[in-house]
Structure 1
Amino acid sequence: MLGTSLKSGVAFIALLAAAPLFAQTPADESEGVTDIVVTAQRRAEKLQDVPISISAFSSDQLRAQGVSSALEIGQFVPNLVAQNNTGLGSANAYYLRGLGNTETIPTFDPPVGTYIDDVFMSRQNANNLNLFDVERVEVLRGPQGTLFGRNTTGGAINVILREPGKEYGGYVEAGFGRYNKMLVRASVDVPLAPTFSVKISGYAQKDDGYVKNVTTGETLNDDTGWGARIGLRGELSPDITWNASYAHIAANGENILNFACNPVVPTQCNGRYATTGLRIGQNGSQFAGLAVPIQGRKANFQLGNFTDTDLVTSKLDWNIGKATLTAITGFVYQSQRYALDFYDGRSGPTLTQPFPAVLGFPRGGFTIINDGKSDQFSQEVKVTGTLGDKLIDYVAGVYYIKENVKTDFADVFANTLTLGDRVLKNTTEAIAGYVQADVNLGMLKLTAGIRYTDEIKTISFSDNRPACAVAVPATTCLFDQNFFVPANGVTVLTNQPIPLRQQAKVWTPRVAINLKPTDDILLFVSATKGFKSGGWNARGYTPSGVLPFGPEKVWSYEAGIKAELFDRKLRANISVYRMDVTDLQTLSGIVNPTTGAISFVTRNFADYRNTGVEAEFTLVPMRGLNLFANFGYSNDKYLLQANAPAFDQYGIQSVAGQLAACQAALAAGKVAGGPNVPATQPSIAACAAGIVTAQGTLASPVRTPDWTIALGGNYRAELGNGMSLVPSIAASYRSDQQVATSNLTIYTGGITGTNGTFTYNPNSGTPVIGSFSKAAWLVNAGLALNGMDDRWQLSVQCTNCFDKAYVQSALVNTTYLNPPMSWQIRARYNFR
């Protein structure tokens, strides 16, 4: 869903995607593909020498095609799905090899870690900004628990920013595009001394948005913001180098629910439409007059999402003989304010009416109001070096992180009902130590590493509702002393306390064998463990709904080949893998065995397995022509935990028990998605909930299409006098996928059951709305005219050039579409 926390470094990652994930452009194209130096093993190595599945993109690649948003990174990396989060246009959710998370409330952690200059970014709620000053991007596929630590069960995205140059120079760029989009970027390197340089860079952008609100007349889903960065580089001595930077980023971006056809006039299908009555802006009084008033400054929020981030990074390198000691310091402060309507100012979709009547509720159909801030400090000290005349290469270090978050948030339902209003404070503190060594035995290299992590998380609640502001508040009020699940005599025999503190102590090893029979071929096999932090379902309205879930753990087994063939004209990197995940953190349903009532939480309900193949090909058949073809295939499924009890200590029904209850309800003739009448067992509420489908089977995992494909390239045509013309094209494909955990989709065709007669059905027919996302191709293209020595450039680019609309996410059966076609014209001047 959504939540609070990060944005800055993540901002830059977003940016990373704002550029081209295409074939590499060699320094001398006649020599074939170029080398890229990566730090995937926490030391500088050539991409082709690293026994890890990596997609790496240099700064030249990132700029060559001008990809417009971080979302597009998912179009070019095998088995990576990137989607804008529901509501939050500033937030992207990444699913890599099937592991991802769309929940951004700060008691959840993403399984794809983001690093900016080796500083870990805890949150994913503001990682879709503009791009400037990126040196390279590395997408590490598969768990990275040994060298990168927790929250990398799916992989890691490592963004390296450009250091200040030793010579004066820079660039300025301006652009204009669809929806009146205006963009300005600039950067300058200023050497203040032979050993000290400064880089100053920034950007600003604004557009009108692409969604027409037919209720208020406003335009929604704009992408407005600005950012500035100052970088420092100093050679403090012949052996000591210091790099540091400070960045501030402000962003306003939404992903408001919208439709390809006007809900008021369904035949009008020439744009994107919304009908919410919640108006845009930072301050107003739309939430005044509620029977249960909203407390705090968030009561004056209007429709919108506003984030501010400060990011400080520092890296000090000290060469000591055959070793380098590195100190990496990071600090992130972020604030986020939003009010977002997830029901488009009306009621939610049902089997009777998948497109409810337009009501234009001025407070929204289901609105979440959020006022949050967080600060994060991290410190790492590592040493890299060699032993025994390069017999052993090693990296070892210690790592510490502390995060403090405060979130003041409320939920308003059906324009009048305050479901909850509370303040959540949560902290994370972790310390880790790691070591990894490579033993070089000629063509053979043996790798072994291990990491130990000790992590502590805490939460604390206070309830803002006036009825709870009494000396002895009701046990349903969200205060720490109320955190227990009361006995019900059936599944909970005694009151069960809900822990407000969790601690995890985890070892995450890695072993690998590398064989390099020639300079151009690398063969490798590896086994790696990773883990993702536990947390709490902090969106509950009562203490008994704020239930904990434990860490997610994964073992990944991988084999691959990296090869450069035909005089380095072709690069082919291919890998096969199997991932076994235990205690997968899965959004699932709580079923009350007496009433059949259901609510949604994240718990460790199931295990997970994903087996797949990934291949990346880069071809430079002739000077100036760069082609690429990337493929990903995955076959995944949930696995039920053996011997799981019917109910846990909190009264939560196991998935096996839920499946049995659902199948019994279906056998009794009830229709999933309809009311539970008569209100007797078996309960139809067990169907189409959590990871149980409307058909009473285990659901397909979300956002894991069987196939991901990317094809394209560019050609540099020399025009004479140092000028060139560069056309480029990239097409990406993903097969059918599900985007909601229960896979519930509403189809055409009526159905009758023992619990009612419905106009639509949850089983088969033509999809109307819901979880199913049909296979889709997307095409991006560009044309750039470069001046002499590339001093200037004029370019025109389009993304989603054929305006393909497809379902990228779903929330309670409302579906969110990908952005429409966009184009932009840019002019750039490089000076030195």
Structure 2
Amino acid sequence: MKKTVFLAVLMGGASPFAAIAQDAAKDEIIVTAQRREQSPQDVGVALNVFSGAELVAQGVDTVNRLENISPGLEIENQFGSGQPSFSIRGVGFRDYATNNAPTVGVYVDDVAYPIPVMTQGVLYDVERVEVLRGPQGTLYGRNTTGGAIKVISTMPTDDFAAGATLEGGRFGRVDAEAFVSGPVNENIRMRLSGATAQGGAWQVNRETGEKIGDVEQYALRGLVAADLAPDVEVLFNLHGFIDTSDGLGLQLFNDSLLDGSMAHTSRQTSYGSSAAFETLTGIATNQHPFRNNEGWGTSLTLNAGLGDAQLTYIGAYEVLNRKEYNDFDALTVGGAGVYFESSADVMSHELRLSGETNRLNWVGGLYYSQEDLNELYQSDFVASFGPGFAVSTPYRQKVRTMAAYIHGDYALTDLVSVIAGLRYEDETRKLRDLGTFSLGTGPLNFANGTVDGARENRDLNSDNLSGKIGVDITPAENVLLYAHFSRGVKSGGFTAYNTLNPNALTPFRPEKLNAFEIGFKTSFGDIVQLNGAGFYYDYKDQQVQSAIFDDATGAIVGRIVNADSEIWGGELEAILAPAPWLTLGQSLGYKTGEFTSFTDLDTGATGASGMAVYVDRSGEDLGFPNVSYQGFIEAETPVAKGWSARARFDYAYRDTLSLPLLGPAYAVDDYWLANAQLAVGPDDGRWELAVWGRNIFNTDYDETRNFFIGPGGIADVAAPGMPATYGARVSVRY
């Protein structure tokens, strides 16, 4: 019997909220990866789908933690900040600025979130998550090179339901949630859910003993579904969140010369800023990292049946107001402090028409979006470069995107189907009024002698064609073979960092990915499910953090540049049910890649010689983890009449992150993580008690590494992962 699943994931650090008693892992989950309801085993796309029950059991409490359960997926918060970098199969983009598009599209109820930092605090009450690997664009509003993450919220129910969950964990962490759902009248249904997360400080200041890491988050969503006519339904979504949590404190992994600090016990941190930075921002010199973010959004989805076709309109508006302070040097002095004040809003419209006949399934659509970002980015480099380097970098960016797409699959025979899709996109990105200004020395607008406060403007106009063609073969029942070619495009953009040289703002080009993939999906009764895929990517104009040399000034200028590369690899996934009470899951991913054309500036040799020195990086490794491995063991047994107990143990391995452009000293070691959960409750799902542990072997690991340099030395810093946590959860449902 299928059990109802309830989950909320509060992005930005909340613990997973409970699923009521369930056996959903053994039920088939329906996906909409191709804009229609299908079994995942019938979709010729490499994807993973996770029910709410699975996410709860594996401790996935943010979208970022999907990397521990989906092969080939890595998600890093740049320097531990709220700016995430999403990567699938090695296709990623490391950038701590707010203004550039991601390689992986994130969608919530089919609404795209094109500004990555917007994905960190707006999501909860999830029915399922789909992770699609490979270029996307002929089925979705946005165009991406790496893939897509689709989050589908729990919808209003036809019958009345209500529930609440309370969870307590190590370090004083408390999470709570409640929901109510049901009919208002014969034609209207609603769902209201809210969540909060509090406490959980797990880091310690190595000088003062102050604890940091507390979360303070609130979220609320209202959904109203209405039947306007027999074949017309509308869904109205209004949601908002507040996040005033502590930020992540970086840690030293080598001794620092900048302030005499020594690298101490893992997960100890430090922070501090200069008096000039306090004057500039109003942030106290001993303030720990923090965020003070809030956002809200609304969307309207209209579905109308038109005979053999379905018309869908999705209109959405999302707003984020961000205030975030981070200390990137982990020192008590102002070596590399940063403060973001961001105001962003995204308006989008998508009109889609789809249909199906006995042999043809098709969908076509038009997409329009407009992004407005106003940001003040302030930096504290006083300890590194002198008293004039408490600086502000304000700018505005507007992005207008228009696209048209069409996709179809046609069954030539009962065994063979052909798939084809095409997308055209036109985009304009306008960067306005960017300048870098020093508090100590007046308005230093770059290094061109301008002191009157003038600012730089840049435009980037691009139009691109992308698409897909392939074949699906079903030689036997429950066997699918597929071979596809697809081309994806990621937007170009601007290096919107603090800079003293206008050449830093020269736009980088859109990147293009030509992807070749073959795969299979098989099921052998209810005992074994085995899927696999292999891929080769020809990566053109890959966007890479690097630098250029300005001949006029003799300056080394940090900038995102374009390079060519190739990536290849594959995944193998299996689910086994050797007994009705036992389920085993395993997934293995492998990928490797190298630059095929990249003439890079050798910054060390250039600085020493005073003239440009270049190095050919063709053949060099791209630096992402090669191997990812995940697995779980899940068992269920009756403990009394009408009662069951469920136990789950899962584990994940992440390979070494080499970061070759930084050098071997900054490689991030490989690590294992393991979680466990034991739950008990009645079979009718009215309540559940669970105890859980995450990172149960207390693995000491870093997520990223980097360095900051100044006249006094080098600060080698790392963003640490969380230690072992454990807790208990109680859930009730009516």
Secondary structure of the residue that 2:136 maps to in structure 1? coil
Partners in 2 of 1:711 and 1:36 — Cα distance?
Answer: 19
Partner Cα separation in structure 1 for residue 510 and residue 37 of structure 2: 31
Conserved 8 A contact 1:262-1:274: no
- 3-state SS in 2 of match to 1:536: coil
Query: After superposition, where does 1:247-396 map in structure 2 within 5 Å?
Result: 247-251=239-243, 252-259=245-252, 269=265, 272-278=267-273, 287=275, 294=280, 303-345=289-331, 360-361=332-333, 364-387=334-357, 390-396=358-364
Q: In the alignment, is residue 437 of structure 1 matched against residue 439 of structure 2?
A: no
Aligned partner of 1:645 in structure 2 is none
1:607, CA displacement in angstroms? 0.8
1:224 to 216, 219, 227: 216
Overall identity of the aligned pairs, in %:
25
Q: In 2 relative to 1, CA 514–298 (structure 1 residues): closer, same or farther, beyond 3 Å? A: farther
Which residue of structure 2 aligns with residue 705 of structure 1? Answer: 625
Task: Tell me, yes or no, if the aligned pair for 2:9 and 2:62 is still in contact at 8 Å.
Answer: no
Q: 2:481 maps to what in 1?
A: 523
Shift of 1:459: 0.6
Q: 1:67-87: per-residue Cα shift (whole Å, max 9, x none)? A: 344332111211111233323
Alpha-carbon distance between aligned partners in 2 of 1:70 and 1:571, rounded to the nearest angstrom: 26
- Is 1:450–1:508's contact at 8 Å kept on the other side of the alignment? yes
CA spacing shift, 1:232–1:265, aligned 2, 3 Å? same
SS in structure 2 opposite 1:730? strand
Distance in 2 separating the partners of 1:533 and 1:578: 21
Superposition deviation, residue 153 in structure 1: 0.5
Q: Is 2:391 the partner of 1:420?
A: yes
Deviation track 1:29-77 (CA, whole Å, cap 9, x = no partner) reads 8xxx532211111222221111110101122323344434433211121
- TM-superposed deviation, 1:531: 0.5
Distance 1:379 1:611, change over 3 A: same
SS of equivalent to 1:193: coil
3-state SS of 1:736 partner: coil
Q: Which AA in structure 2 matches 1:327?
A: Y
Change (3 A) 1:406 1:216: farther
Q: 1:721 aligns with which of 637, 641, 645?
A: 641
CA change 1:326–1:296 in 2 (3 A) is farther
Amino acid at match of 1:815: A
Question: Distance in 2 between the 1:19 and 1:610 partners?
Answer: 37
CA contact (8 A) 1:17 1:70 kept: no
Residue in structure 1 matched with residue 711 of structure 2 by the alignment:
none
**Which of 555, 568, 590 lines up with 1:611 in the alignment?**
568
Residues 479-490 of structure 1 mapped to structure 2, 5 A cutoff: 483=456
CA deviation digits over 1:708-761, x for unaligned, max 9? Answer: 1111121111112211111111111122222x3514234xxxxxxxxxxxxxxx
Aligned match of 1:807 in 670, 684, 702?
Answer: 702
Cα 1:91–1:417 change in 2 (3 A) is same
**1:631 maps to which residue?**
588
Structure 2 distance, partners of 1:209, 1:440, is 56
Compute the displacement of 1:316 (Å): 0.7
d(CA) in 2 for partners of 1:225, 1:639: 45
Which stretch of the first structure deviates more once superposed, 436-445 or 395-404?
436-445
CA deviation map 1:382-421 (0-9, x unaligned): 011024xx22111011001001000012111135443531
Q: Which residue of 2 aligns with 1:772?
A: 667
- Of 18, 35, 41, the match for 1:42: 35
Query: Which one-letter code corresponds to 1:744 in the other structure?
Result: G
Consecutive unaligned residues of structure 1, counting only runs of 5 or more, are: 1-9, 279-285, 346-359, 484-498, 642-653, 666-674, 747-770
| Aligned partner letter, 1:366 | A
Q: 1:424 to 1:64 in 2, by over 3 A?
A: same
Please tell me the residue identity of whatever aligns with 1:373: S
**Which secondary structure state, in structure 2, belongs to the residue aligned with residue 737 of structure 1?**
coil
Contact 2:240 2:297 in 1 (8 A): yes
Matched residue type, 2:165 = E
Q: Residues 476, 517 of structure 1: CA spacing in aligned structure 2 closer, same or farther, 3 A cutoff?
A: farther
Contact 1:78/1:631 (CA < 8 Å) preserved in 2?
Answer: yes
TM-fit CA distance, 1:194? 2.1
Query: Contact (CA 8 Å) 1:149, 1:530: kept in 2 or not?
Result: no
1:754 corresponding residue in structure 2: none
SS of residue in 2 equivalent to 1:255: coil
Deviation at 1:806, TM superposition (A): 2.1
Residue pairs, 1:463-478, within 5 angstroms: 463=435, 465=438, 475=448
- In the alignment, which of 133, 157, 161 is matched to residue 169 of structure 1? 161
In the TM superposition, what whole-angstrom CA distance separates every residue of 1:609-649 from its partner, at most 9, and x where no partner exists?
111111111112221322100010112111116xxxxxxxx
Q: Is the 8 A contact 2:145 2:513 kept in 1?
A: yes
Number of the residue aligned with 1:153:
145
For 1:302 and 1:591, locate their aligned partners in 2 and report how far apart those are by CA, in whole Å: 36
Matches within 5 A, 1:124-143: 124-129=116-121, 132-143=124-135
Q: Which letter does structure 1 place at the counterpart of 2:510?
A: P
Give the residue type in structure 1 aligned to 2:89. R
User: CA shift at 1:221, angstroms?
Assistant: 2.7
CA deviation vs aligned residue, 1:320-350 (integer Å, no higher than 9, x gap): 11111000111100011022111112xxxxx
Structure 2: stretches of 5+ with no match in the other structure: 1-7, 708-715
Contact 1:262-1:273 at 8 Å conserved across structures = no
Q: Is the 8 A contact 1:431 1:453 kept in 2?
A: yes
Matches within 5 A, 1:178-193: 178-193=170-185
Q: CA 1:476–1:328 in structure 2 vs 1: closer, same or farther (change >3 Å)?
A: farther
Q: 1:466/1:815 Cα in 2 relative to 1: closer, same or farther (>3 Å)?
A: closer
Pick closer, same or farther for the CA change 1:297–1:407 going to 2, 3 Å: farther
**Secondary structure at 1:515 match in 2:** strand
| 1:212 aligns to 2:211 (yes or no) | no
Structure 1 residues 622 and 734, CA gap change in structure 2 (3 angstroms): same
Q: State whether structure 2 residue 521 is matched by structure 1 residue 562.
A: yes
Given candidates 540, 544, 548, the residue that maps to 1:586 is 544
Secondary structure of the 1:535 match is: coil
CA shift at 1:277, angstroms? 2.8
Per-residue Cα deviation, 1:116-148 (whole angstroms, up to 9, x for no partner): 011000122253459631111100001112222
Structure 2 counterpart of 1:644: none
Query: Structure 1, residues 87-134: CA drift from partner, whole Å, max 9, x if none?
Result: 32x443221110122324233211011000110001222534596311
Contact persistence 1:468–1:474 (CA under 8 A) = no
In 1, Cα distance between equivalents of 2:48 and 2:636: 23
Which residue in 2 is equivalent to 1:398?
Answer: 366
Structure 1 residues 266 and 473 mapped into 2: Cα distance closer, same or farther (>3 Å)? closer
Q: Which moved more, 1:411-420 or 1:257-266?
A: 257-266
Cα gap change, 1:477 to 1:425, in 2 (>3 Å) = farther
TM-score (norm 2): 0.89
Which amino acid in structure 1 is aligned with residue 303 of structure 2? D
Query: SS state of the match for residue 48, structure 1?
Result: helix
Distance 1:481 1:397 in 2: 42
Cα distance between partner residues in 2 of 1:809 and 1:63: 26
SS at structure 2 position matched to 1:72: helix
Three-state SS of the structure 1 residue aligned to 2:184 is strand
Q: CA RMSD in A?
A: 3.3
1:789 aligns with 2:709: no
Task: Give, in whole Å, the separation in 2 of the partners of 1:174 and 1:595.
Answer: 60
2:504 partner amino acid: G
- 2:512 is equivalent to residue 553 of structure 1: yes
Report the secondary structure of 2:97's partner residue.
Answer: coil
Question: In structure 2, how many angstroms separate the alpha carbons of the residues matched to 1:93 and 1:330?
Answer: 24
The answer as to 2:520 corresponding to 1:539 is no
Structure-2 separation of matches of 1:267 and 1:587: 27
SS of residue paired to 2:684: helix
Corresponding position of 1:239: 231
1:76 equivalenced with 2:63 (yes/no): no
SS in 1 for 2:171: helix
Q: Is the 8 A contact 2:272 2:285 kept in 1?
A: no
Using a 3 Å threshold, how does the CA distance of structure 1 residues 261 and 201 change in structure 2: closer, same or farther? farther
